Amino acid sequence: MSWRLIWLCGFVVAAAAALSASLQTYVSMTSHGHAFVSILLWELACWWFWAAVAPLLVAQGARFADPARSRPREWQRTAALGLVLIAAHIGVDALVIVAVQPFAPVERYAFTRALATAAKSEWMFDIIAATIPLLIGYGSAASERAQRLALRESHLEADLARAQLDALRLEIEPHFLFNTLNSIASLIRAGLPDRALSMLLGLSDLMRSTLETPGPTTTLGAEVAFVQRYIALQRVRFMDRLSVSYAIEPDCEECEVPTLLLQPLVENAFRHGIARRAGACALDISARVDAGRLRIRIRDDGAGLPAGFDLHGGAGVGLRNTQSRLERSYGTAASLTIASRAGGGTDVEITMPATLASVRGVQAAG
């Protein structure tokens, strides 16, 4: 709170109080012949004194609210400041009474008598007048400190959430890398070095694109593009027995999604579905916006889920990671469901708020 604002408010309030007190005194003593102007000048001087010193009291109240300061010392400073200002106000009050003689012609005051009268009649009022700006300063400083702490806490919580999301993302990348290297090793053991080399080169290109990913979120269009490159890598292994279809509605492509949201789910479809079934297999990836919700589905006609599968208890790294990131990013506004298809295979669906990604910091992966 600036001193200029404190003075402005103080002098306005003091002027209004002085005018009210002057009118009350003048009206109650109309038969005494007092001059209204003299009474008003006296009241203005008494009230404006407290308006003039209000910044000092507000500042002291703010210091008192600072927990880093010594409390006993601030009590002493506050008491000393209050006593000095009360004594000064009584002295000013006495001087003004002598100068303007507000109660003439009934009574005229010399300085000694005016000082005694002011000390007797004003000390209780002065304690209240000094306490009010002290409390204002204390309350204002305490409120500002609480707001700063709340803002700092929100920043720390946001930083923690980002760190947790980054950790989850970093967990996915080596998991995906190790699984792909195992696939390459399988091709080598099967005597297919050309396909293993082709898959290794594709993996190198794909890993380079993960390094270029800007942050914890990206667009759905960028995420689908990354998955397409991952599927192209897997085609080296599954060859012609893999059929993939995409049904991504245009209004979904700019929606914001967590980085590497789809890849673990597509990887699960390959490892636990398509790889465990002989013959041709199909993988369908679709996305649409429905009533402000982004709905993403990944379906395969592979081996399906094991008996008694439980997402919360039996899920692997990819599914647990994806579910954790959705919960941390969107809370209950997002969900991940996984179920067996009637004709065989697995159906995974993600539902989350359909929000457009910020142009800044969101780029296509790769």
CATH of domain 192-353: 3.30.565.10
For residue 42, the tally of other CB atoms under 10 A from its CB is 22
> Bridge partners of 347?
299, 339
Report the alpha-carbon distance of residue 160 to residue 149 in Å, rounded: 16
Residue 346's DSSP bridge partners are 300, 340
Of residues 191, 46, 61, the one with CA closest to residue 123 = 46
CA distance 62 to 77: 12
**Residue ranges per structural domain of the chain:** 3-154, 192-353
Fill in the DSSP letter of residue 345: S
- Rounded CA gap, 125 and 2, in Å? 26
8 Å CB contact between 52 and 7: yes
Tens digit of each residue's pLDDT (9 = 90 or more) over 311-328: 766 566 677 778 888 888
Integer Cα distance of 103 and 121 in angstroms: 15
Query: Beta strands of the chain (E only): which ranges?
Result: 217-219, 242-248, 256-258, 281-290, 293-300, 335-340, 346-353
What is the predicted pLDDT for the residue at 158? 60
30: tokens are 């109309």
Q: What is the reported pTM?
A: 0.51
Per-residue model confidence as pLDDT tens digits over 267-312: 888 877 887 777 788 899 999 999 889 999 999 988 777 776 767 6
- Going from the C-alpha of 333 to that of each of 260, 339, 362, the distances in angstroms are 19, 20, 22
What pLDDT, on the 0 to 100 scale, is given for residue 215? 67
Alpha carbons within 13 angstroms on the beta-carbon side of residue 168 total 26
Question: What is the CB-side half-sphere exposure of residue 306 using CA atoms within 13 A?
Answer: 11
CA distances from 135 to 58, 139, 156 (A): 7, 6, 31
pLDDT tens digits in sequence order for the chain, 366 residues long? 566 777 677 677 777 777 777 777 776 777 666 777 887 888 888 888 888 888 888 888 888 888 777 778 888 888 898 899 988 888 888 888 888 888 777 778 888 888 888 888 888 888 888 888 888 888 888 888 888 888 887 766 665 656 555 555 555 456 667 777 877 888 888 888 888 888 788 777 777 766 665 567 889 998 898 888 888 878 777 777 888 999 999 989 999 998 888 888 888 888 778 877 777 888 999 999 998 899 999 999 887 777 767 676 656 667 777 888 888 888 889 999 988 887 788 999 999 999 887 543 444 344
Residue 105, classified by CB atoms within 10 Å of its CB into exposed (0-12), middle (13-18) or buried (19+), is exposed
